[in-house]
Amino acid sequence: MNKLGQFCIATLCMAAPFTATAGEIGEIQWHGFLTGAYMATSGAGEDVHYAGDVSDNGTTKDTRLGLTVTTQVDEKWRFAAQMKAKGVDDFQMEMDWAYATYDYSDGFAVNVGEIKYPVGLYNEYIEVGYTYPWIRAPETFYNQDIFGPNLTRISYSGVGLEFSSLGDESETNLNIFGGLLDVGDGHVNQLIGAKLGFNWADILRLQLSAATGLMEIEAGPRAAMNGERHTSYAAGIGLDMESFVFSTEISAATMGVDVMDSTSGYVMMGYRFGDFMPHVTYGHWDVKGGWGQKDITLGLRTELTSNTALKIDVKQVTPGDKYNNNDVSAGYGLFNAKPEEDKVLIYGVALELVF
């Protein structure tokens, strides 16, 4: 296996303690990650900002620091938590997730607490930037803004049931989860969902998921969805064949209000040349009401040491009003206002570190 693949597995064990032992009973293990990033737009115009407060003036608000703690409480119980500070939140420390796992048997475990949201190939370690090629995971699938795709969240509060089966070189797992999901302007109550995953020799990953819940939205632009049912379906494929890397995810979501129903997804291909991996990604987020966006990202990832990587990304974004006959009432993808140019460039550089 290549160096990147080996370290990604190690980091996954750090970031996904429900699939890995936490060491001796009573032993506390600490791990961490750091992203130092600069991003800027070109062609957006004055006072027009992209998700995460990116503008023509540039920003370092994607910079973040996180610490993960795990411990084996006794023969059956484990505990894990992750704390993080982000530039976009003025580096205020917050708890991403904190939960306990009861290992009932080799093939069945129960998670209780504030648990990592399991939907998406990358979502359970989305803050650990070292583990994927881009500076930001494709925003047409993973963005969590109020008017974003609304497919993934950092965590949910509730219970998760983990069923797993190991083969000689494969693992199949089923995650059934339920509880309460916080969103930017309210909650998703009575959340229930399931994720079916398959991993073969860390070369091929497959995932199918579905989730549904009732929205409780406070006063604001999405108040019309209060009491409506939010339902999403997603499927993903990841392939890592030493040199060639490929991943794609597609999804559909209903929001209880017809104009908010959406489809989204992306496809990424990359190729490793020693410590260098150029990659290209196409993404789309299409909303019935006309907003959403399409984008193309060209990126380069370089391994600096065994636990650091340098990334350079250039993304061309076409905002959603171009798909709604320039109806200015529609919306502008993940921009807060109509950009000056029909196509906007977003470029960035980031240093990723895990320890």
* Residue 144: strand pairing partners: none
- Picking from 168, 192, 163, 166, the residue whose alpha carbon sits closest to that of residue 180 is 192
> What's the rounded Cα separation, in Å, for the pair 273 and 255?
43
pTM: 0.91
CB 265, CB 289: distance < 8 Å: no
> What's the rounded Cα separation, in Å, for the pair 46 and 38?
18
User: Looking at residue 5, what is its pLDDT?
Assistant: 47
Residues of the chain with confidence (pLDDT) below 50: 1-21, 322-324, 326-329
**211-219: long-range contacts, CB 8 A cutoff, minimum separation 24:** 211/119, 211/177, 213/181, 213/188, 213/189, 214/188, 214/189, 214/190, 215/183, 215/186, 215/187, 215/188, 215/189, 215/255, 215/256, 216/186, 216/187, 216/188, 216/189, 217/185, 217/186, 218/185, 218/186
User: Looking at residue 4, what is its pLDDT?
Assistant: 42
State the maximum Cα–Cα separation within the chain, in Å, rounded to a whole number: 62
User: Looking at residue 174, what is its pLDDT?
Assistant: 98
Contacts of residue 337, defined as CB under 8 A and 6 or more positions apart, other chains included, come to 47, 48, 49
User: Looking at residue 110, what is its pLDDT?
Assistant: 98
Tokens of 321: 């009003």
User: Looking at residue 291, what is its pLDDT?
Assistant: 84
User: Looking at residue 22, what is its pLDDT?
Assistant: 55
According to DSSP, the β-strands at 262-271 and 244-254 are antiparallel
Cα within 13 Å of Cα(42), Cβ side: 7
Domain 3-354 falls in which CATH fold?
Porin (2.40.160)
Q: Where are the alpha helices (DSSP H) in 153-246?
A: none
CB 311, CB 349: distance < 8 Å: yes
User: Looking at residue 330, what is its pLDDT?
Assistant: 57
N-to-C CA span, the chain: 21
Four-CA torsion 303, 308, 312, 317, nearest 10 degrees: 120
> What's the rounded Cα separation, in Å, for the pair 8 and 344?
32
- Picking from 1, 16, 90, the residue whose alpha carbon sits closest to that of residue 53 is 90
SS3 153: coil
